Structure 1
Amino acid sequence: MTHEHTLHLDPKVRQEARNRLLSAKGHLEGILKMLEGEPYCVDVLKQIKAVQGALDKVGDMVLKSHLEHHVASAAVRGDTQQMVEELMEVLKYR
Protein backbone atom coordinates (compact mmCIF):
# COMPACT_ATOMS: atom_id res chain seq x y z
CA MET A 1 0.00 0.00 0.00
CA THR A 2 1.52 3.33 -1.03
CA HIS A 3 1.05 6.41 1.08
CA GLU A 4 0.81 9.46 -1.16
CA HIS A 5 -0.78 11.65 1.48
CA THR A 6 1.18 13.76 3.92
CA LEU A 7 0.29 15.09 7.33
CA HIS A 8 -1.62 18.38 7.11
CA LEU A 9 -1.49 20.12 10.47
CA ASP A 10 -1.94 23.81 10.97
CA PRO A 11 1.38 25.18 12.31
CA LYS A 12 -0.25 26.00 15.66
CA VAL A 13 -1.68 22.46 15.94
CA ARG A 14 1.64 20.96 14.83
CA GLN A 15 3.42 22.88 17.61
CA GLU A 16 0.81 21.77 20.15
CA ALA A 17 1.33 18.15 19.06
CA ARG A 18 5.09 18.56 19.35
CA ASN A 19 4.77 20.05 22.82
CA ARG A 20 2.52 17.20 23.96
CA LEU A 21 4.98 14.63 22.62
CA LEU A 22 7.87 16.35 24.37
CA SER A 23 5.83 16.31 27.57
CA ALA A 24 5.14 12.59 27.12
CA LYS A 25 8.86 12.04 26.54
CA GLY A 26 9.61 13.85 29.80
CA HIS A 27 7.06 11.75 31.67
CA LEU A 28 8.55 8.55 30.21
CA GLU A 29 12.03 9.60 31.26
CA GLY A 30 10.61 10.35 34.71
CA ILE A 31 9.07 6.89 34.94
CA LEU A 32 12.36 5.26 33.96
CA LYS A 33 14.17 7.29 36.61
CA MET A 34 11.50 6.39 39.19
CA LEU A 35 12.00 2.71 38.45
CA GLU A 36 15.66 3.00 39.40
CA GLY A 37 14.47 3.49 42.97
CA GLU A 38 11.52 2.24 44.97
CA PRO A 39 8.64 4.42 43.74
CA TYR A 40 5.12 4.40 45.07
CA CYS A 41 2.87 2.47 42.66
CA VAL A 42 0.30 5.24 42.41
CA ASP A 43 2.97 7.76 41.43
CA VAL A 44 4.11 5.51 38.59
CA LEU A 45 0.51 4.96 37.49
CA LYS A 46 -0.12 8.71 37.41
CA GLN A 47 2.91 9.24 35.18
CA ILE A 48 1.83 6.42 32.87
CA LYS A 49 -1.64 7.96 32.62
CA ALA A 50 -0.08 11.34 31.74
CA VAL A 51 1.87 9.72 28.88
CA GLN A 52 -1.22 7.91 27.63
CA GLY A 53 -3.25 11.12 27.76
CA ALA A 54 -0.66 13.06 25.78
CA LEU A 55 -0.38 10.33 23.14
CA ASP A 56 -4.17 10.01 22.88
CA LYS A 57 -4.52 13.77 22.35
CA VAL A 58 -1.88 13.82 19.60
CA GLY A 59 -3.51 10.78 18.02
CA ASP A 60 -6.84 12.60 18.00
CA MET A 61 -5.23 15.63 16.35
CA VAL A 62 -3.65 13.53 13.59
CA LEU A 63 -6.87 11.52 13.07
CA LYS A 64 -8.90 14.72 12.74
CA SER A 65 -6.44 16.05 10.17
CA HIS A 66 -6.60 12.79 8.23
CA LEU A 67 -10.39 12.83 8.21
CA GLU A 68 -10.52 16.45 7.08
CA HIS A 69 -7.81 16.32 4.43
CA HIS A 70 -7.86 12.79 3.08
CA VAL A 71 -11.00 10.86 3.97
CA ALA A 72 -13.42 13.68 3.13
CA SER A 73 -12.07 13.83 -0.43
CA ALA A 74 -11.57 10.09 -0.98
CA ALA A 75 -14.60 9.66 -3.24
CA VAL A 76 -13.38 12.44 -5.55
CA ARG A 77 -9.94 10.82 -5.81
CA GLY A 78 -11.41 7.34 -6.18
CA ASP A 79 -9.55 5.78 -3.25
CA THR A 80 -12.43 5.39 -0.80
CA GLN A 81 -11.77 1.69 -0.24
CA GLN A 82 -8.10 2.31 0.52
CA MET A 83 -9.05 5.05 3.02
CA VAL A 84 -11.55 2.73 4.72
CA GLU A 85 -9.00 -0.09 4.96
CA GLU A 86 -6.35 2.23 6.38
CA LEU A 87 -8.72 3.62 8.99
CA MET A 88 -9.93 0.18 10.00
CA GLU A 89 -6.30 -0.89 10.46
CA VAL A 90 -5.50 2.14 12.60
CA LEU A 91 -8.69 2.09 14.64
CA LYS A 92 -8.20 -1.50 15.78
CA TYR A 93 -5.33 -0.18 17.91
CA ARG A 94 -7.43 2.58 19.56
Structure 2
Amino acid sequence: MPEDSRKRAARRLAIARGHLESIRRSLEDPNAYCVDVLRQIKAVQGALDGAASVVLRGHLEAHVATAATRGDEVELVEELMEVIKYA
Protein backbone atom coordinates (compact mmCIF):
# COMPACT_ATOMS: atom_id res chain seq x y z
CA MET A 1 0.00 0.00 0.00
CA PRO A 2 1.34 3.45 -0.80
CA GLU A 3 2.74 5.37 2.18
CA ASP A 4 0.25 8.20 1.71
CA SER A 5 -2.66 5.74 1.88
CA ARG A 6 -1.26 4.16 5.02
CA LYS A 7 -0.97 7.53 6.74
CA ARG A 8 -4.48 8.63 5.72
CA ALA A 9 -6.01 5.33 6.87
CA ALA A 10 -4.14 5.54 10.18
CA ARG A 11 -5.44 9.09 10.69
CA ARG A 12 -9.03 7.98 10.13
CA LEU A 13 -8.58 5.08 12.53
CA ALA A 14 -7.19 7.44 15.16
CA ILE A 15 -10.35 9.51 14.76
CA ALA A 16 -12.47 6.37 15.19
CA ARG A 17 -10.50 5.47 18.33
CA GLY A 18 -11.22 8.89 19.79
CA HIS A 19 -14.92 8.54 19.07
CA LEU A 20 -14.96 5.05 20.61
CA GLU A 21 -13.36 6.35 23.79
CA SER A 22 -15.96 9.11 23.92
CA ILE A 23 -18.73 6.53 23.55
CA ARG A 24 -17.26 4.40 26.32
CA ARG A 25 -17.11 7.39 28.65
CA SER A 26 -20.67 8.38 27.73
CA LEU A 27 -21.96 4.94 28.60
CA GLU A 28 -20.48 5.26 32.09
CA ASP A 29 -22.75 8.27 32.63
CA PRO A 30 -26.24 7.16 33.66
CA ASN A 31 -27.60 10.42 32.24
CA ALA A 32 -26.10 9.96 28.79
CA TYR A 33 -28.63 10.71 26.10
CA CYS A 34 -29.15 7.72 23.80
CA VAL A 35 -29.28 9.84 20.64
CA ASP A 36 -25.91 11.40 21.48
CA VAL A 37 -24.42 7.92 21.85
CA LEU A 38 -25.95 6.88 18.52
CA ARG A 39 -24.44 9.95 16.85
CA GLN A 40 -21.02 9.00 18.15
CA ILE A 41 -21.49 5.43 16.91
CA LYS A 42 -22.36 6.79 13.45
CA ALA A 43 -19.21 8.92 13.56
CA VAL A 44 -17.13 5.80 14.27
CA GLN A 45 -18.80 3.97 11.41
CA GLY A 46 -18.06 6.90 9.10
CA ALA A 47 -14.41 6.99 10.15
CA LEU A 48 -14.09 3.23 9.60
CA ASP A 49 -15.77 3.48 6.20
CA GLY A 50 -13.39 6.28 5.26
CA ALA A 51 -10.37 4.22 6.33
CA ALA A 52 -11.67 1.25 4.33
CA SER A 53 -12.04 3.44 1.25
CA VAL A 54 -8.49 4.72 1.57
CA VAL A 55 -7.13 1.17 1.96
CA LEU A 56 -9.19 -0.09 -0.98
CA ARG A 57 -8.00 2.73 -3.24
CA GLY A 58 -4.40 2.05 -2.23
CA HIS A 59 -4.86 -1.65 -3.00
CA LEU A 60 -6.42 -0.89 -6.37
CA GLU A 61 -3.64 1.50 -7.30
CA ALA A 62 -0.77 -0.62 -6.00
CA HIS A 63 -1.90 -4.14 -6.86
CA VAL A 64 -5.00 -4.44 -9.00
CA ALA A 65 -3.90 -2.00 -11.70
CA THR A 66 -0.81 -4.14 -12.36
CA ALA A 67 -2.35 -7.59 -11.83
CA ALA A 68 -2.60 -8.46 -15.52
CA THR A 69 1.11 -7.91 -16.07
CA ARG A 70 1.91 -10.18 -13.11
CA GLY A 71 -0.70 -12.76 -14.09
CA ASP A 72 -2.54 -12.85 -10.78
CA GLU A 73 -5.69 -10.96 -11.74
CA VAL A 74 -8.01 -13.92 -11.07
CA GLU A 75 -6.69 -14.32 -7.54
CA LEU A 76 -6.98 -10.59 -6.85
CA VAL A 77 -10.56 -10.47 -8.13
CA GLU A 78 -11.52 -13.45 -5.96
CA GLU A 79 -9.84 -11.90 -2.93
CA LEU A 80 -11.69 -8.60 -3.38
CA MET A 81 -15.00 -10.33 -3.98
CA GLU A 82 -14.55 -12.21 -0.70
CA VAL A 83 -13.87 -8.96 1.18
CA ILE A 84 -16.76 -7.13 -0.47
CA LYS A 85 -19.12 -9.94 0.46
CA TYR A 86 -18.76 -8.91 4.10
CA ALA A 87 -19.14 -5.18 3.45
Same fold (TM over 0.5): yes
Report the alpha carbon displacement of residue 14 of structure 1 after superposing the two structures with TM: 3.3
Instruction: Tell me whether 1:15 sits opposite 2:22 in the alignment.
Output: no
- Structure-2 residue corresponding to 1:29: 21
- CA deviation digits over 1:5-44, x for unaligned, max 9? xx2232xx43332222111101101111111122111101
Q: Is the 8 A contact 2:26 2:37 kept in 1?
A: yes
| Distance in 1 of aligned mates of 2:59 and 2:7 | 17
Root mean square deviation, CA, Å: 1.3
- Judge which range, 16-25 or 41-50, deviates more: 16-25
TM-score normalised to structure 2 length:
0.89
Q: Which amino acid aligns with 2:2?
A: H
Q: Which amino acid aligns with 2:10?
A: R
- CA deviation digits over 1:35-67, x for unaligned, max 9? 112211110110001101111011101101111
| Distance in 1 of aligned mates of 2:83 and 2:18 | 26
Mapping of residues 50-61 of structure 1, within 5 Å: 50-61=43-54
| Distance in 1 of aligned mates of 2:85 and 2:20 | 24
Identity of aligned residues (%): 59
Query: Relative contact order (C-alpha < 8 Å, sep 6+): which is higher?
Result: 2
Unaligned runs of 5+ in 1: 1-6
**How many residues of Structure 1 are paired with residues of Structure 2 in the alignment?**
86
TM-score normalised to structure 1 length:
0.83
| Distance in 2 of aligned mates of 1:52 and 1:14 | 19
Larger fraction in helix:
2
Q: Which amino acid aligns with 2:25?
A: K
